Structure 1
Amino acid sequence: MPRRARPGEAEAREPLLGEPRADPPEAQERDSEEGEINIDRNSSNLRHDEGSGQRLTYEEAVEKAGFGLFHALLLVVCGWANASDAVEILCVSFLLPTARCDLQLSTSDMGLLTASIFLGMMVGGYLWGYLADRRGRQRVLVVSLTINGLFGGLASIVPWFWLFLLLRFVSGVGVGGSIPVIFSYFSEFLPRLRRGAMISSLATFWMAGNILAAGLAWLVIPRTQAHFRLGTLDIQSWRIFVVLCSVPSLSSALIFKLLMPESPKFLMEDGREKEALRVFRLMFELNHWGKNEAFPVFGVLTSTTPTKEWGDGVSRGSPWQRLVSLCRMGLAPIRQLFAAPLRRRSIALLVVFYGISFGYYGLWMWFPELFKRIEEGGSPCTDASRPSPLQNQSCYPVNTAVYLEGFIVAASNLPGNIFTILLMDTIGGKTLLSCSLLVSSVSIFLIYVVRTKAQSLLLSCVFSGVSVISWNALDVVSTELYPTQLRSSALGFFTGVGRVAAIMGNIVFGKLVDTNCSVPILMVSALLLLGGMVACLLPQTRRTELT
């Protein structure tokens, strides 16, 4: 609380640089009629009465630290983590055409396998996001990335489908934590005028992971002669591919553990001023490398109420009472998301995340299989009146065209990524999100009516290039819509909702791809259309300050 005036001292005084002015209560965060976000800079839990001299807000301290080499290194490290998540998720779609023979999978089993990692991400997303808001972003990233890579790699040496399914699920728990937390962590080092373009650049690394997974599949899986025996287990080329896909996550976890600092925004909210200043000093020194400039002396406004850790405030009653208390504490952020003034934006994001996740992951995981069907049947949707191409079909020799096409579709993300990097801070995430979802809906509808392989590949590339604009815009908008104490929890919750949609999309495709795949394709088109219309209800966040 602001200090009270001493006897004889004037009540009114000019605040120190960076100190919030006394605004009326109605100046708190709210959505304006125009849809812009207004941010209250006067927070009652900020400590600004200690010491003397310059005391800066987070945004002012970030500006003092400058922009340069530190942020370039941060982008590479966080981008590698984002790419590793893409590799771990998408590797399943590339191994399916070959692994289904060794594991003796039906089409429904293939749907369960693609859904398993998303089920793990659903479980892990909110849990890790909640922990990141209370224990810190950096340590949660280390643990989640380690779980992702370790269990993903172990899946390569199990002979039974059920155990492979279980390990992919646990790997998904790790992925579910690192995806939402990495965007919270990254955004909390950035000046607001560059945040949109930088978050779009971070999202671009998903394309890099996609290309890496497709390239590895193209190079490794067709090498059927590259196999060896491990006890009684014959390690085929697709199992080697799974091991290689775990390397990016494990290496990323090691880099975060050894080199990366905690988010300065989290440290300020946790009342840890000295640690936050050390991070700002590190940022300043790297950004002004070789310029012989001294780090400016300043303090920062920090919270007087440190963030609670997992388990703080749990009652000491019976085990059942402690469990109920723990669940209530864990669900508290969700109640905040759907209470005023955040309710409208949260409902809109719920619809958008569901629609884009059902459509993107439902289709993307099945693109290699659909390409095979076009190659053999002339249409992505097999007629129910004739046998499925999966029947009486051998997995060997491996059809390398499937991986080449997957590589081309992955590379088609590049124009969309460049577009968002250049225009995100100019147009704004809300506009890009809505327009790109509507165009994606049209492109998916046209995939349903194509009859040649070239047409299908072209429309798949269009869908890939446009949908990446949707994802990049969604990453920027969802990061900026919520305060620090809720940011990772909110992203974890909404990505969890997206994983539910991804699971449903994969199961629906798995059940209907042999009989009438036009149904899930038209469902995807309708959901993307709905998401594009609902996105218009979101507030504009262009160049807003983080709260």
Structure 2
Amino acid sequence: MVAQGCDAEAAARGGDIPHDHLFKVTGLSSNNLQKLAQDTAPVVSDFEAAIAATQYGRFNILLLACSLPAFWSAVSVTSSVSYIFTRAKCDMNLSLLDMGTVTAITYAGMIMSAMIWGFLSDTLGRRYIMVWGFLGAGVLEVAAALSQSFAMLLVTRFFCGFLFNGPFAVLLSYIAELHRTEHRARALLLTSMFYTLANTTLPLLAWAFLTHPEWDVELFGGQIGEF
């Protein structure tokens, strides 16, 4: 009891502990101990303050520039089938129901993958999902363009929507998170302009390619295809 009382009294009189006693116990004087405590104190800051400290620079500009092809892909995944029906309905004998099914199957894949991508983006990381998700969606877009039957077209369009939904949603969150509050609204407004620009380029590409009756492709001096 006497020892506890002495300890409590010593704690209450922390400033009265002699300097020589502190030096014997810790090897440091009281001034050095206070300086050490100040130097090792953790600096706590929230996410917004950390992003604001990075300011706005070349990384943000490159991030927005790299997002432009993603918006072109978004328009291609959701709207390209409406341009190929003029040819596909003759080549594959598609009915009105078949064309409506092909259009809707892409959105069905997006809806079915929404919860899965939300879990994977928080588990694996946003950058990992964007890189491999966009790559997989691009490969399936090429496979859909090479479809020779209605079943193949239906399956590839479904998985295009399935794979594309997650990376594109993650991209929007990624852009918003890496811009501080002052620039966040402007960045998202700029991405909306990208989407509008992509909507104007797709009809131009369709006009450039689909209005020509035949395409002859030659590689290494030999004809490899006729479209």
TM range (shorter): 0.7 to 0.9
2:172 aligned with 1:183, yes or no?
Answer: yes
Which of 50, 73, 79 lines up with 1:61 in the alignment?
A: 50
Distance 1:9 1:196, change over 3 A: farther
The alpha carbon displacement at 1:93 in A equals 1.1
Distance 1:123 1:223, change over 3 A: same
2:47 aligned with 1:74, yes or no?
Answer: no
Which of 177, 185, 193 lines up with 1:204 in the alignment?
A: 193
Distance 1:62 1:8 in 2: 42
Read off the aligned partner of 2:144 and give its amino acid letter: A
TM-score computed with the length of structure 1 as normaliser: 0.32
Which of 119, 138, 145 lines up with 1:156 in the alignment?
A: 145
The alpha carbon displacement at 1:179 in A equals 2.1
Distance 1:9 1:89, change over 3 A: farther
Partner-residue secondary structure (3-state), 2:80: helix
Distance 1:84 1:156 in 2: 14
- RMSD value over aligned CA atoms? 2.5
Distance 1:9 1:138 in 2: 55
Tell me, yes or no, if the aligned pair for 1:96 and 1:110 is still in contact at 8 Å. yes
2:103 aligned with 1:114, yes or no?
Answer: yes
Partner of 1:225: 214
Distance 1:88 1:118 in 2: 9
The alpha carbon displacement at 1:126 in A equals 2.3
Distance 1:132 1:235, change over 3 A: farther
Deviation digits for residues 154-179 of structure 1 (CA, Å, limit 9, x no counterpart): 12223111111101111111111122
Structure 1: any 5+ residue segments left out of the alignment?
A: 1-6, 11-49, 237-547
Tell me, yes or no, if the aligned pair for 1:120 and 1:169 is still in contact at 8 Å. yes
Read off the aligned partner of 1:121 and give its amino acid letter: M
The alpha carbon displacement at 1:189 in A equals 0.4
Higher helix share: 2
Task: Write out the 4+ residue segments of structure 1 that deviate beyond 4 Å after TM superposition.
Answer: 7-10
**For residues 381-530 of structure 1, what are the structure 2 equivalents within 5 Å?**
none
Tell me, yes or no, if the aligned pair for 1:146 and 1:174 is still in contact at 8 Å. no
Distance 1:75 1:64 in 2: 19
2:78 aligned with 1:89, yes or no?
Answer: yes
Read off the aligned partner of 1:83 and give its amino acid letter: W
Distance 1:73 1:145 in 2: 18
Distance 1:95 1:51, change over 3 A: farther
2:99 aligned with 1:127, yes or no?
Answer: no
Distance 2:86 2:211 in 1: 11
Partner-residue secondary structure (3-state), 2:93: coil
Read off the aligned partner of 2:116 and give its amino acid letter: L
Partner-residue secondary structure (3-state), 1:56: coil
Partner of 1:194: 183
Partner of 1:145: 134
Distance 1:235 1:179 in 2: 34
The alpha carbon displacement at 1:80 in A equals 2.3
Tell me, yes or no, if the aligned pair for 1:123 and 1:176 is still in contact at 8 Å. no
**For residues 340-355 of structure 1, what are the structure 2 equivalents within 5 Å?**
none
Q: How many pairs are equivalent?
A: 188
Distance 1:51 1:135, change over 3 A: farther
The alpha carbon displacement at 1:101 in A equals 0.9
Distance 1:219 1:9 in 2: 86
Tell me, yes or no, if the aligned pair for 2:214 and 2:226 is still in contact at 8 Å. no
Tell me, yes or no, if the aligned pair for 1:157 and 1:235 is still in contact at 8 Å. no
Read off the aligned partner of 1:219 and give its amino acid letter: A
The percentage of aligned residue pairs carrying the same residue is 26
The alpha carbon displacement at 1:199 in A equals 1.0
TM-score computed with the length of structure 2 as normaliser: 0.75
Partner of 2:25: none
Tell me, yes or no, if the aligned pair for 1:82 and 1:182 is still in contact at 8 Å. no
Structure 2: any 5+ residue segments left out of the alignment?
A: 1-10, 15-38, 219-224
Deviation digits for residues 61-107 of structure 1 (CA, Å, limit 9, x no counterpart): 11111113221111111232122222222111111122211111111
Tell me, yes or no, if the aligned pair for 1:87 and 1:212 is still in contact at 8 Å. no
Tell me, yes or no, if the aligned pair for 1:59 and 1:192 is still in contact at 8 Å. yes
Distance 1:178 1:9, change over 3 A: farther
Distance 1:80 1:158, change over 3 A: closer
